[in-house]
Amino acid sequence: MTFPKRGSRYQFNDFYEKLLAEFSTSENFHKNTLGDIVWVARKFFAWLCENGHPDLANVGADEIQNFVIECSNTMKINSVHNVKLYLRKLCAYLHSRGLLPNSYVSLLGFRVSRQARQFPTTPPEEIEAVLNLIDRDTPKGKRDYAMFMLAVVTGLRAVDIMRLKLTDIDWRKGEINLIQSKTGQNLQLPLTADIGEALQDYILNGRQHSLEPQIFLWCKPPYRPFADAVAIGDAYDEYRRMAGYEREAFDGKGFHSLRRTVGTSLVTSDIPLADAAQLLGKIRPESMKKYIALDVAHLKECALNLADIETGVMS
């Protein structure tokens, strides 16, 4: 048996190594999911080798089922979800190559309910405190205020704000048109008066002259666009710190919480879920469920009053 590249704890032979390379390039997998796809394939191939299957000649439903059972006994539920999801894709690929007798779509069609941590929204007073701290008489302040206003009003992701171009703003129609980085889908947003004024002030009075197409640039030479959206989040965290809101690691109160705040505000209004999803650039309305889970005030109205229910031990 030969071993895969250094750094991998999963060991398998050349047969599976070749299959892995072919499978990982068989589709234009998104870079955010490719790592998980390769991880599942490596784990499955290593498990087959450990259990006496140097190739796929005698691999069938029992082996696939036993692998999933072992994963469910040793992994967290979210990891099991990924195993099921990408193993299903792997089996379909192997079946299309004639290497498995079945795609096992039904076998791997069970549902795995993932655990999702609900991060908080940002209270209005915190947002107001941050915006009030910005010195809008300086180029940096004009830039930061415009970036933050885009997030506060529209819920745009930092990466989309970072990549927003001058040509994405239709001043005559009062629209913002962009291609979302996460989904690749077109998103059209209204250019509200407050956003328009902030953008106009920065572009005309704060932005350095540059041939770069992106709106937001560094305030120091060579006046280039942001290379990473993390810079926007770091800037926001610094203003929060100056406003007296110390942030703990992974507390969910960073820049992205502004998007959650907008999403929760939309679903707690009388706006239909489909319209709210469209405003946030969501492909499916059901993806708005996580914002409903953050609507604590309305969820409390759904809670049952147990005050008059007698408790006791059944005999």
pLDDT digits (tens, 9 = 90+) for 236-259: 999 999 999 876 655 667 898 898
- Asked if pLDDT for residue 134 goes beyond 90, the answer is yes
pLDDT of 107:
92
Summarize the confidence of residues 1-11 as an average pLDDT: 47
Domain segments of the chain as ranges: 14-96, 124-298
Q: What is the DSSP string of 265-306?
A: HHHHTT--HHHHHHHTT-SSGGGGHHHHTT-HHHHHHHS---
pLDDT of 299:
39
Total-model pTM? 0.59
Asked if residue 101 lies in contact with residue 111, where contact means CB atoms within 8 angstroms, the answer is no
Best CATH choice for the domain 124-298 from the list 1.10.443.10, 1.10.40.30, 3.90.320.10, 1.10.287.3240: 1.10.443.10
pLDDT of 291:
52
pLDDT of 245:
87
**Residue 6: which pLDDT band, with cuts at 50, 70 and 90?**
very low
Summarize the confidence of residues 98-120 as an average pLDDT: 82
Burial class (CB in 10 A: 0-12, 13-18, 19+), 116: exposed
* pLDDT tens figures, 18-43: 999 999 999 988 877 888 999 999 99
* pLDDT tens figures, 160-203: 999 999 999 999 999 999 998 888 889 999 899 999 999 999 99
In whole angstroms, what is the distance from residue 119 CA to residue 127 CA? 16
